[in-house]
Structure 1
Amino acid sequence: MPYKEIPQPPPQKNDDSQDAAISEKASLPRPKSATALPSEVSGSRMASAKSSRSRPAGHSGVFPVGAAATGVGGGGGGGGGGDGGVQLADKLKIFKTDNFDPDAYVQSKCQTMNEKEIRHLCSYLQDLKKASAEEMRRSVYANYAAFIRTSKEISDLEGELLSIRNLLNTQAALIHGLSEGVQIDSLTSGTEGSTEEDISNVEGQEPSEIQKWSADFPDMLDVLLAERRVDEALDALDEAERVAADRTQTLTTAEISALRSAVSDNRQKLADQLAEAACQSSTRGIELRAAASALKRLGDGPRAHSLLLNAHNQRLQCNLQTIHPSSTSYGGAYTAALAQQVFSVVAQALSDSVEVFGDESCYASELVTWATQQVLSFALLVKRHVLSSCAAAGGLRAAAECVQISIGHCSLLEARGLSVSAVLLKQFKPSLEQALDANLRRIEESTAALAAADNWTLTYPPNGIRPLARSSVSNLALQPKLSSSAHRFNSMVQDYFEDVTPLLSLQLGGSTMDGIAKNFSLYVNLLISALPGSMDDEANIDGLGNKIIRMAETEEQQLALLANASLLAEELLPRAAMKLSSINQSSMDDLRKRGPDKQNRVPELREWKRKLQRMVDRLRDSFCRQHALELIFTDEGDTHLSAEMYICMDNTVEEPEWVPSPIFQELYAKLNRMAGVAADMFVGRERFATLLMMRLTETVILWLSEDQAFWEEIEQGPKPLGPLGLQQFYLDMQFVIIFGQGRFLSRHVHQVILDIIDRAMGAFSATGMNPDSVLPGDDWFMDVAQEVVGMISGRGRTANGDREINSPTASVSAHSMSSFRSHGSS
């Protein structure tokens, strides 16, 4: 709950004298009656409460605790226990003396301190002040409801005590009057002559001035009230109370009773007159403050404060009658007009309350409660007439503008010590989240509609879509090349992040980024569905449903799918999300305020980018799996890579033509063809293209390594693997190593190939034959493999020196096969 900081009452200069007075009063002999007077009880309680409030708990001196103790005593602390307590009490006596001068004390202690120590001391005191203020704010937040309730109860109790005092005074006056009446009756036994003499003396005596004033007081007060001379009427009432209290010897009991009755009646009459004036709509400004101040002077402060707030509320309701949402062109104008009226009235009420009532806790609590109610009503109006329609239509920019206007007016109140922004944010957040969801749905639907007609051709941003930089010959290469659906997705995400950036104070950054990540996942599912033959259920599970997607028939179109996803995930979306980190601030103060938010945002962005990359990996794996299956299986379901193709080679009489198997030649041809297309498509992102080719090679090799049927037939089949089959298998693996070095082969896949060869040679050795005795030298395998590589690539025979030096596998030489063969045959 927001609150206004309420300063404590100034500390009393002489607490000891007050405590002594209270103790002396408490030690006086009490009357023998069993029950004390209520006025005495209440007086002692109020004095005790005041004394307890004037003494802050804990250390409250100028210096830190350690420094204060050392400075006062002039030495370090000694022992513990009771002696230490006595020592500390003796040291603190200097602060309780009547002639204690804090300035002189600080000067005497700081004379021996250098400039650095003084600065350190000042810094410590500032930190202590801030910590104390923050602790007070937390305490008020934690106990705010009880705080308001207690304040109201104290106010009611003070009113009851005042009533009790008046009743006691009236009772005492009645008793005094009765006693005088008894004395008058007793005097009737006097002589008739003396009575006649007394009567003649009384009749001949002129009334005194005070008696004349007392007799004329009711008429004079009626005139002052009729002429609305409030200040003079208040002065007259105060004077009448003083006369009734001080002139008990001059005035008779009847005159005093009549005077007090006139004072009481006219006080109530004046209070009602002031309350009626405060309720008039024409009473504003100085007149309103004067009426409230007069009511407070009459002893009815709570009623005066309530009337002050009610007057401002009536003024606000009257002003709101002229503001209608239908008379404005858009929600921002209505919000601005409404905020101007509401927050200006709240600010004026705050000023009037402080001017008339000061910083008393009970009045400040009522003011905070009233201001919170006004801001809540404002938030509900904006939510009903603006945010609800914006949220339903997905008008995020209009909703953000309304929130910015409202928060801007709240900041003006916060500068004056009244924080109500939490009330607004609590009301606005659900509508803004609804607007965010509507925008995300629009991005999803628009992207899916364009994907249904996308020809999967990469182009520069078309007209109507915001480019990343101005179009020119020099920076044309900086523009992203995407297909039409990816361009649309990127443009809508850019607009979305720009609209949501002003709403960072609502802590919507996490849900915003999660929503974009979900939309990107759905877009990746669209791209996966665009691959020919892609029948994965994962796309349907993720909400793709029965959306119609245009197929990417050619390899170039399929690579364009990967270009879309990789460029969005690696560059465009993270660049747009950086707007949420609030780097571009207008002042260094804003930077310092948002420093922790920025630091927390960077790891969040990093993790978000990794999440996007995992989605791209799904598309890449689907791409590689599809092309691997096209290589391995025929349209009829047969396989191009089986154990039978190696085992049956030894059943032929003629010497076979030694070339790599067709599946591995087709694998290299596909990789070489795709690499040429990717070189033009992934400019500046060659690493992604290289990893894609490596992943495709890995998919084929891992399928061969994990095919249980293939290895069961090789190792346990009815026909063993013969010398020719082993030589063909060895040539195929050597061919993969030769064409993959530096471009299509990772170290992991290279090791898998070596393990596959080891397994095949182990199966051949199980027949009792030595693999080295039937296999030709390594140079023969390399010559055959390089010749086929040159024929497919059109570059002629490839020498060993043509390998790329920076390749991940450039250090792995094909000549390592000789050492492997000797190891496998041993």
Structure 2
Amino acid sequence: MAPKPSPTTPRSKHSRNAVAFREDVRGDGSSGAPSPPDSPMATPVAPTPATKKRGLRTPSRKINALFKRSVRADKGGGVAGHQRASSEGGTLHTSRGMRLGGLAAFEAGTVDLDNDLSGLTEKGIDTLRAELAALDGECAEELRKAVHANYTHFISASQGIIKLEGDTGALRNLLANAATLMVKLKEVAAPPPAPLAATVAEEAAAASSAAGDWEQSPDGLRWADALDEIEVALAERQPLDALHAVRRADKLVPRLSAAPPADIPPPAHIALEARVERQRAEMDARRQRLAALADAALSDALAAGGTDLRASSVAAVRAAAGVLAAAAGGAHAARRLLDAHSARLRRLQQQLLKPQNAGGGDADGVEYAGALAQSVFRALAAAADDTAALSSASAPELSSLLVVWALQETERFALLLKRHALAPFAAPAGLAATVSCCLLALVHCRALEVSHGLTLAPRLMRDLWPACEQVLQRRLRRLVEEVRTAAAEDTKTIAAAMGAGSQSGSQLLPAAQLVLGEIQTCVRILTPLAGPRMAAALRQANTDLFGVYAEALAGAFEGRIDESGALPPALSSAVQPAIEQAAALSEDALPKALAPLHDSCGVLCDAGALQEHLAQLVSRLGPYVV
């Protein structure tokens, strides 16, 4: 029996929205055609204004046509149930574990049941329900298969999870036990709890009351008066008055810090100890202020003396040094005193470097050297006197400080002398000017040694002698050419004398006189600087000069040898007198010239070296002796 035609009604909103779902259910291209009129599944729908243009393409007719084809396929294939043949488009599948192609829209989640399925007929809805039931069975089967396939792994994972949970619980218990143990250890090692706030407040009040009572006591009033005296003296910048006040306060400290009675309560005992420590700290602070005041007074006293170091008040300097020694110790006072003298000396040395003090007429630097030496060694003498005024039980320490400081100032003086006097003026002026500058310094140094026992001359000569030795070497180098020229003239003079039939006698010729005169001049200039260094330099100069003379004399004769290897007859007769002149110079004249320094420097004439030079002269001129 054909289904009853549906009444002619206007097309609803749900039937209009079911078009998308119909396209999914249709599957292949042929399913979109209208159902044949003889289909038992077809349900004619009366045309409505909304469906006149599109014919019979309503949701119910499309679904009925789809189901009609399914029924025909079931009958033709002889397959029971809902088994269907797969169409060309692959939209229909068997119901054994497979899904209907049109149900993919349900799986994709793009189906709106209210809009897409509201226009289906009752049979279409039953068909869809059956398909959904088949899909549910398929899902259950797949789930069963998955569970069966992974059951072993699931059991293993479950056992591992259970074991991991057990290990985690054990570890949590261990950590909890360790934390509890640490808390207990902290509680055991913690200091005892502080006293109650009320107890602390009571003790503080008791200590404050005891401090107030002591301040009003006779000892407290005397202590306050002593501190006031110190403050007044420091404010008025009176080091001596401040020192006396500090000494009076120091006498009060032992009595104030005496041992307390045995029955004194602990809070009072603590307050007493705190008061004693506070008093000592106050005294230390005031001593430091007193030391700073005395240091400033010492510098001011030394700076107020003008160009003369001793024009300042000696009493003020020594008083300030004494206060500083009492406040900070004798060694500290000595260091500060020497530092103040050094600063004063620097100012004087800077003034000496000014052009108006050096003077334009000081061509050889002797005036500057004398002024510098005088200022330095007078400053050393003043510092020695001031340091001696601080002599006490620590006198050896003060003496060592003075000696070290004096050596440092002597080195600085030698450096200034070489830089501003010897190098620019004395060295170019010659050996005499250089020795004069050094001699002025040495005179003042030895005067200080006599007056204060400071032996600084060896250190001074060690620093100054290299400059003198350099000038001496330059002087000897300039003399070499003069000796060679004079030796050549000597050969002519001897030859002329021999040709005239006269004898040269014992009188020295010009070249020998030049060498002898230079040695005598060096002895005269360097005698004030007599010492080991000067003796060694002069001994070497004597040997070198005679060697130059012998070399020049031999060269003068050898330069006159003719092509036959013989000297001219006039010169041949002059060889023997020339050798005799050299022998007389080395054996008699030079030792006599160096004799004045024999007592202070020893033997300065190296006879062995002179004889060696003489032997070389004889070996070179001997073949020509006639």
TM-score after normalising by structure 1: 0.42
Aligned to 1:697: none
Aligned equivalents of 2:422 and 2:409: distance in 1?
18
In the TM superposition, 1:547-566 aligns within 5 A as 553-566=570-583
* 2:301 is aligned with 1:267: no
Aligned equivalents of 1:347 and 1:289: distance in 2?
14
Aligned to 1:51: none
SS of match in other structure, 2:493: coil
Contact kept in structure 2, 1:524 and 1:615, CA below 8 Å: yes
Aligned to 2:17: none
Aligned to 2:298: 278
Contact kept in structure 2, 1:458 and 1:560, CA below 8 Å: yes
Judged with a 3 Å threshold, the aligned counterparts in structure 2 of structure 1 residues 219 and 558 are, in CA distance, closer, same or farther, namely same
Select which of 312, 318, 321 maps to 2:341.
312
Instruction: Quote the RMSD (CA, aligned, Å).
Output: 4.0
Aligned equivalents of 1:264 and 1:330: distance in 2?
56
Select which of 580, 589, 599 maps to 1:572.
589
Judged with a 3 Å threshold, the aligned counterparts in structure 2 of structure 1 residues 410 and 506 are, in CA distance, closer, same or farther, namely farther
- Counterpart code for 1:330: D
Select which of 326, 344, 349 maps to 2:383.
349
In the TM superposition, 1:392-431 aligns within 5 A as 393=428, 395-415=430-450, 416-431=452-467
Select which of 518, 521, 527 maps to 1:501.
527
In the TM superposition, 1:809-824 aligns within 5 A as none
- Counterpart code for 1:226: A
Aligned equivalents of 1:187 and 1:435: distance in 2?
84
- Counterpart code for 1:436: L
Count of residue pairs brought into register by the alignment: 389
Contact kept in structure 1, 2:321 and 2:333, CA below 8 Å: yes
- The structural deviation recorded for 1:442 is 2.2
- The structural deviation recorded for 1:320 is 1.4
> 1:217-264 deviations in whole A, cap 9, x for unaligned?
333322222333433322322222332321357998486566545433
- The structural deviation recorded for 1:349 is 0.7
> 1:66-112 deviations in whole A, cap 9, x for unaligned?
xxxxxxxxxxxxxxxxxxxxxxxxxxxxxxxxxxxxxxxxxxxxxxx
Select which of 214, 217, 223 maps to 1:214.
223
Select which of 337, 361, 366 maps to 2:401.
366
Aligned to 1:438: 474
- The structural deviation recorded for 1:411 is 2.0
Contact kept in structure 2, 1:394 and 1:435, CA below 8 Å: no
Aligned to 2:412: 377
- The structural deviation recorded for 1:394 is 7.6
Judged with a 3 Å threshold, the aligned counterparts in structure 2 of structure 1 residues 182 and 288 are, in CA distance, closer, same or farther, namely farther
Aligned to 2:613: 615
Aligned to 1:157: none
In the TM superposition, 1:708-727 aligns within 5 A as none
Contact kept in structure 1, 2:583 and 2:614, CA below 8 Å: yes
Q: Which moved more, 1:439-448 or 1:320-329?
A: 320-329
SS of match in other structure, 1:456: helix
> What's the % identity of the aligned pairs?
28
Contact kept in structure 2, 1:397 and 1:499, CA below 8 Å: yes
- The structural deviation recorded for 1:532 is 5.8
Aligned equivalents of 2:204 and 2:403: distance in 1?
65
Aligned equivalents of 2:528 and 2:205: distance in 1?
94
- The structural deviation recorded for 1:610 is 4.3
Aligned to 2:536: 510
Judged with a 3 Å threshold, the aligned counterparts in structure 2 of structure 1 residues 357 and 551 are, in CA distance, closer, same or farther, namely farther
Contact kept in structure 1, 2:418 and 2:464, CA below 8 Å: yes
Contact kept in structure 2, 1:394 and 1:436, CA below 8 Å: no
- The structural deviation recorded for 1:374 is 0.7
- The structural deviation recorded for 1:458 is 5.9
- The structural deviation recorded for 1:450 is 2.9
Aligned equivalents of 1:224 and 1:577: distance in 2?
69
> 1:368-407 deviations in whole A, cap 9, x for unaligned?
2211111001001111233335785482222222222222
Aligned to 1:665: none
Judged with a 3 Å threshold, the aligned counterparts in structure 2 of structure 1 residues 216 and 508 are, in CA distance, closer, same or farther, namely closer
- The structural deviation recorded for 1:312 is 0.6
Q: Which runs of 4+ in 1 moved over 6 A?
A: 181-184, 186-189, 249-252, 533-536
- Counterpart code for 1:616: L
Aligned equivalents of 1:264 and 1:232: distance in 2?
17
Aligned to 2:369: 335
Aligned equivalents of 1:218 and 1:357: distance in 2?
30
- The structural deviation recorded for 1:184 is 11
- The structural deviation recorded for 1:571 is 1.9
Contact kept in structure 2, 1:221 and 1:236, CA below 8 Å: yes
> 1:264-314 deviations in whole A, cap 9, x for unaligned?
332222222222222322285221221121121123434322221111112
Aligned equivalents of 1:340 and 1:384: distance in 2?
17
- The structural deviation recorded for 1:488 is 2.5
Judged with a 3 Å threshold, the aligned counterparts in structure 2 of structure 1 residues 338 and 244 are, in CA distance, closer, same or farther, namely same
Aligned equivalents of 1:299 and 1:385: distance in 2?
39
In the TM superposition, 1:186-201 aligns within 5 A as none
> 1:590-632 deviations in whole A, cap 9, x for unaligned?
xxxx5xx54xx2xx64xx23432443344344444124xxxxx
Aligned equivalents of 2:215 and 2:542: distance in 1?
99
- The structural deviation recorded for 1:492 is 2.2
Aligned equivalents of 1:374 and 1:436: distance in 2?
27
In the TM superposition, 1:709-748 aligns within 5 A as none
Q: Which moved more, 1:248-257 or 1:272-281?
A: 248-257
Contact kept in structure 2, 1:323 and 1:338, CA below 8 Å: yes
Unaligned 5+ residue runs, structure 1?
1-177, 190-197, 460-476, 537-549, 583-593, 628-669, 671-826
Q: Which has the greater radius of gyration? A: 2
- Counterpart code for 2:293: Q
- The structural deviation recorded for 1:506 is 4.1
Aligned equivalents of 1:209 and 1:532: distance in 2?
111
Aligned equivalents of 1:552 and 1:382: distance in 2?
58
> 1:175-219 deviations in whole A, cap 9, x for unaligned?
xxx9xx989948999xxxxxxxx99xx99x995543332333333
SS of match in other structure, 1:482: coil
TM-score after normalising by structure 2: 0.54
Aligned equivalents of 2:234 and 2:351: distance in 1?
37
Contact kept in structure 2, 1:241 and 1:260, CA below 8 Å: no
Judged with a 3 Å threshold, the aligned counterparts in structure 2 of structure 1 residues 355 and 440 are, in CA distance, closer, same or farther, namely same
Aligned equivalents of 2:621 and 2:425: distance in 1?
41
Judged with a 3 Å threshold, the aligned counterparts in structure 2 of structure 1 residues 278 and 187 are, in CA distance, closer, same or farther, namely closer
* 2:318 is aligned with 1:292: no
- Counterpart code for 1:348: A
- Counterpart code for 2:546: F
